[in-house]
Amino acid sequence: MTRAGCPLLLVLALAGCGAGSPFGGDGTGGSGPGPCTWDRDCPQGLVCIERECRAEDDLPPEQPDSRTFLPPAASERFVYALSPEAGTVAVIDPVRVSVESVPLPAEPVDLAVVPDTDAIVALSRKGAALSFLDLGGAPSLEVLRLGRRLSKLSLAPDASWALLWNPDGSPLDAGAEGLVLLVDVGALRGGTPQPAIERVAGRRHSHVFFRSDDGAARDAVVVGKDEISIFDLADPAAMPTPERVLLPPAFSELLTRTVIASEDGAWLLLASVASGELLVLDVEHRALSTLPLPGAPSHLAISGHTVVVTLRTSGRAAWFALPDAVAAPELIRVAEVSLPGARCETPGCTVRPGQARISADGSFALLFTDAGGTESFGRLDLASGGFDVFDRGRKQVRTLAISPDGSRAVILHKPDPDSTVADLYERMVDQAEGYSVVDLGSGRSQLVLTGTVPPRDVVFAEGRRFAAVTLRSDPEGAFRADAIDLETLVPSSIPLASAPESAGPLAPLLGDRIWVTQLHPAGRISFVDLAARSSQTVTGFELNGEIE
């Protein structure tokens, strides 16, 4: 067995995201505009005010926190962790708390779990290879040599094909812009690997999606800076070039556009702060259309085929169902929305929400902003159009997450170090880090102050009774996970041995348990039982080694 000699990159198969980010979505478009001197220094749709690129309402663009929402991952039996420097994948059994290290071609950088199996597909950059590791029966490993170095693996939902690509900003293979590889995973899985299909698909890729129909992947969709490329998966080798859909100039700025897709990949939506329209792509028919909006969008969210658009500069929210609104734009519903401001110079001032989170059942959305001073958020009923404000919060909102059953929300707050409120206790509350748990039915909430230790991630366990918030302060050496009982709203602290890096739920059969990876020279992961308020930790990723 091999001891990893570096911090491990834990990579788990992610479900489709429910919200898009105007700053690259999947972390591929950068972290937002930098300082500016002139308007021309800013992305299209923003202006330079006090050396900062801002929207028309004089506020910076919304910056959705992509770290906070970690969908269910891992196979039924294992968690998988890559060690790029050691060239291994650690296969971790959370029940036995044991680890086996499996060698892979050099520098494995990405992996995906094959749905409903204990198999993974792993991409090695330096080793220029794609590996299929199956642990469902007798362990087997198939390796396909690629001859190309790429950084990102996107696996079709039915695991029939993989598309390998370089996200915008990552190193290019031999400087080749737009290069992608299509790999027949079915053949690799069956022990008869076929050569990868090399194609060019535009440039500066930001997203890859798959369109599925009747459970089978039909198309692979690559979103680039200026165009969308579509590969027919019936016989991609027969296509020298993909089908192309050119994007209007207003939608080619990666820093200020949002890209999302429906769960089945049948519909792609693009929004830009420089346009009062949405672009909608019908992937099956390769048809691009526009939907009018009463203002520039600040954020998009999608659940199933329900879409919510926040229009912060105009103080509105729009929502609609696909495909109905494409054929009949008059079905787009619009509501004026606002939140009470906090610490306003003018009594009764309001703040406009700029982000949305949609409940899992698509019945409502929570609207909030991280750009304006408010301690509130709102609930938009997508059937009636009613908007209810939760105005009992006591700290500004950074981001929030909705529980899977839609009954609770966890709010991560941001501190207000400049608070001057006369009540010294309330000033301390303003200046502290913290989070809140809110019962969306009754409106009651529990505020948890965490001093100078910022909350990092929110994870909902598959057992539905518990959630967790990870917290980390490197200067203070303060590391922990707070278990939250979603029925009573009572939190309990569980210490961690080192700084939490990422977290996620374990399989449903493990109920109220989650995993938390931590920074450590040899790699560290803890399995936290939120109901029992206990944890087991593996350090070094060596078989049965250093279990704490």
> What is the per-residue pLDDT across 135-164, written as a single tens digit (0 to 9) for each?
988 899 999 999 999 999 999 999 999 999
pLDDT of residue 61: 83
Q: Answer yes or no: is 364 within a domain.
A: yes
> What is the per-residue pLDDT across 393-428, written as a single tens digit (0 to 9) for each?
899 999 999 999 999 999 999 999 989 889 999 999
> What is the per-residue pLDDT across 464-514, written as a single tens digit (0 to 9) for each?
999 999 999 999 999 999 999 999 999 999 999 999 998 999 988 888 999
> What is the per-residue pLDDT across 67-110, written as a single tens digit (0 to 9) for each?
444 333 588 899 998 888 889 998 999 998 888 889 999 999 99
Residue 161 neighbours by CB under 8 Å, 6+ apart: 155, 182, 183, 184, 185, 186, 210, 217, 220, 233, 236
pLDDT of residue 247: 97
User: How many distinct structural domains can be found in the chain?
Assistant: 1
The beta strand positions in 187-226, using DSSP E, are 197-200, 207-213, 216-223
Q: Answer yes or no: is 243 within a domain.
A: no
Helix (H, G, I), strand (E, B) or coil at 54: strand
Phi/psi zone of residue 107: left (φ > 0), alpha (ψ -120 to 50 degrees), beta? left
At 336, which CATH number?
Answer: 2.130.10.10
Q: Answer yes or no: is 327 within a domain.
A: yes
Q: Answer yes or no: is 236 within a domain.
A: no
Structural domain span for residue 279: 254-384
Assign 32 a pLDDT band (cuts: 50, 70, 90): low
Instruction: Select the more confidently predicted residue: 546 or 125.
Output: 125
Q: Answer yes or no: is 491 within a domain.
A: no
One-letter amino acid for residue 302 of the chain: I
Mean pLDDT of the chain: 89
pLDDT of residue 295: 92
Q: Answer yes or no: is 235 within a domain.
A: no
Q: Answer yes or no: is 489 within a domain.
A: no
Residue 380's Cβ-count burial label (10 Å; 0-12, 13-18, 19+) is: buried
Q: How far apart are CA 428 and CA 379, in angstroms?
A: 28
pLDDT of residue 346: 77
The beta strand positions in 415-465, using DSSP E, are 433-439, 445-451, 455-460
Q: How far apart are CA 242 and CA 286, in angstroms?
A: 12
Assign 193 a pLDDT band (cuts: 50, 70, 90): very high
Q: How far apart are CA 493 and CA 432, in angstroms?
A: 17
Q: Answer yes or no: is 311 within a domain.
A: yes
pLDDT of residue 44: 80
